[in-house]
Amino acid sequence: MKKNLIFLLILLLAVTANGQKEHFDIATFIAPKGWQRADTNGVLQFFKFRDPHSVASFCQIFLYPSRESGTDPMENFNAEWNTHVVAWAGMNGDPRPQAGKPDKGWTPVTGHVSTQNNGVIYNCILISATGYGRVMSIVINMAGQDYAADAEKFLNQLDLDVHGARGNQFAGPGSRTTAGPASGGQTSSGAASLDDYIYTAPPGWVSQRFADGIVLSPAPPNPERCNLTIHLLRPAGPNLVTDAGQIFNEVFTGFVGKEGMTSNSVIRGTSVQGWDYYIIKAAIGRPGGNYQTLFGFVCVIRLGNQLASISGISKDPLVSSCFGLALTDVWPKFFYSLQFRSWDKRLPEGEMMKRMAGTWMMATATAGDQITFAPNGRYANAAASQQYGFTSTSAVTITDAYFGNGAYSVKGNNILLTQDNDKAHPTPGWFRLEEESKDNGNTWKKKLYLTRTSTVDGTEYEVGFTKQQ
């Protein structure tokens, strides 16, 4: 059942389709049928969009936990608006709030503004309800009118507990009861296994936690249906290659290999935390000729006698806005943030500098770059490398303090580059070292990845270098 659940998550992003009454904080509601749901940082969200290739029509519903408040409904609305709309989304328009008729001791206040984001015009609506010394709020973002009836039905079926007492009966914000798979139903061992992961979710992504995994996926208006799935820890097998192949087959059961635009590859490496990992990347699809070719990957990590694993699926990397080569790739930052509570065997910084030593080359159809690192904390860019004539061998053995035209230091996944002629403006970034094979492990190339910041728009991007032998 666990394998089937994760498989369904990959295909469907776990849509909720039942009409049962559920609880969130002091609210009782019926989840909108066919909508996707997510629990993130104690906030319950439902969302749906008409066309995955268009964001002209979508709706998001956010339920926020109740809090203690004053008795003035309008003052409470203004405070909730500033917290959940202005501070979160930066909207500064006048919502023109209007109070509704009190019902069962709760007084609703509603306000909205029309705003624009990335060319999409949508309405942001806040409904706050004040009563019994508490206030609870719902935010609805809606583009178009396709989901207006669904949102209205959801609000009409929602009830708040009289006296606001129910909030104390649950484990905390976001707790719920339901018969579907989204209920969690975790065993203590499963909860502990998932809690061993420490990570930062990609910006704009939402998290769904289940008994056998955590699914991260982008929220609208991102049109691509992709995700990252964090799996339960399991006992490690004989080697990472075998473990990776087994888990890849488990996760992508029902898929077959396809011919994609991006070459399949396998990757191996050791993180700065000291754990070894192995990644399989491959084009996949459903059997038959009418299904889109996708790209799946599995990353397995050995933690002593335990095995952690993370899988992902997206469009082909050449066109993906999730794990893309030309567009956005959220994997590097996620990987840099990844740690484990039960693991504390970090590699010494000097060891990482030794592994970086050598000359690394980056070349594309339109640009090229080269950088040489020495293990003593000195580096040379392409111009300096040519001027000094250093090779990868001499870079490894050189100990002269005057090597290169800059100094570097590493701390964890962070690297700081400082040019000798511009010491006032050091360049920070992230790095990782890996080996990659595109012929199923027969031959390997050493890879160095560095993040840089664009001087044009200030965005971060990653550059991959290959070690020169």
Instruction: Give the separation between CA 285 and CA 295, rounded to whole angstroms.
Output: 8
Q: What are phi and psi of 448, to 5 degrees?
A: -120, 125
CB atoms < 10 A from the CB of 455, how many? 6
Strand partners, 306: 235, 303
Instruction: Label residue 437 exposed, middle or buried (CB < 10 Å: 0-12, 13-18, 19+).
Output: middle
Per residue of the chain (469 residues), give pLDDT as tens.
344 434 333 333 333 334 578 888 889 999 998 888 876 667 788 888 765 445 568 888 999 888 888 889 999 999 999 888 887 666 678 899 999 888 888 999 999 998 876 667 888 899 999 998 889 999 998 888 889 999 999 999 999 886 554 333 222 223 332 222 233 333 335 556 888 999 999 888 888 888 888 988 887 766 678 899 999 999 999 899 999 999 999 998 888 888 888 999 999 999 999 999 999 999 998 876 666 789 999 999 999 999 999 999 999 998 888 998 878 899 999 999 999 998 988 888 889 999 999 999 986 544 568 899 998 899 988 655 444 444 444 444 444 444 678 899 998 889 999 988 888 888 888 999 999 999 989 999 999 999 877 666 667 788 899 998 6
pLDDT of residue 56: 66
Phi and psi, residue 340, nearest 5°: -135, 135
Helices 2-12 and 240-251: angle between axes, nearest 10 degrees: 70
Query: Exposure of 367 by Cβ count < 10 A (0-12 exposed, 13-18 middle, 19+ buried)?
Result: exposed
CA distances from 159 to 20, 25, 343 (A): 14, 11, 45
Q: What angle do CA 204, 275, 314 make, to 5 degrees?
A: 35
| Nearest CA-CA partner of 97 in 81, 115, 116 | 81
DSSP, res 85:
I
Chain centroid to Cα 155, Å, comes to 30
CATH class of 182-340: alpha beta
Continuous segment of H or E residues that includes residue 385: helix 382-388
Sign (positive/negative) of CA torsion 94, 95, 97, 98?
Answer: positive
* CATH class of this structure's domain 349-467: mainly beta
- Which H or E run contains 288? none
Q: How many CB atoms lie within 10 A of CB 237?
A: 16
Which part of the chain is CATH 3.40.1000.10?
19-178, 182-340
Please, where in the chain does CATH 2.40.128 lie?
349-467
Residue 166 is given by DSSP the state G
How far apart CA 311 and CA 299 sit, in angstroms, is 6
How many C-beta atoms lie closer than 10 Å to residue 456's C-beta?
Answer: 6
Q: Which residues contact 181 (CB under 8 A, 6 or more apart)?
A: 5, 8, 14, 210, 211
**Domain boundaries 19-178, corresponding CATH code:** 3.40.1000.10
| Cα distance between residue 121 and residue 115, in whole Å | 6
Q: Is the pTM of this model over 0.75?
A: no
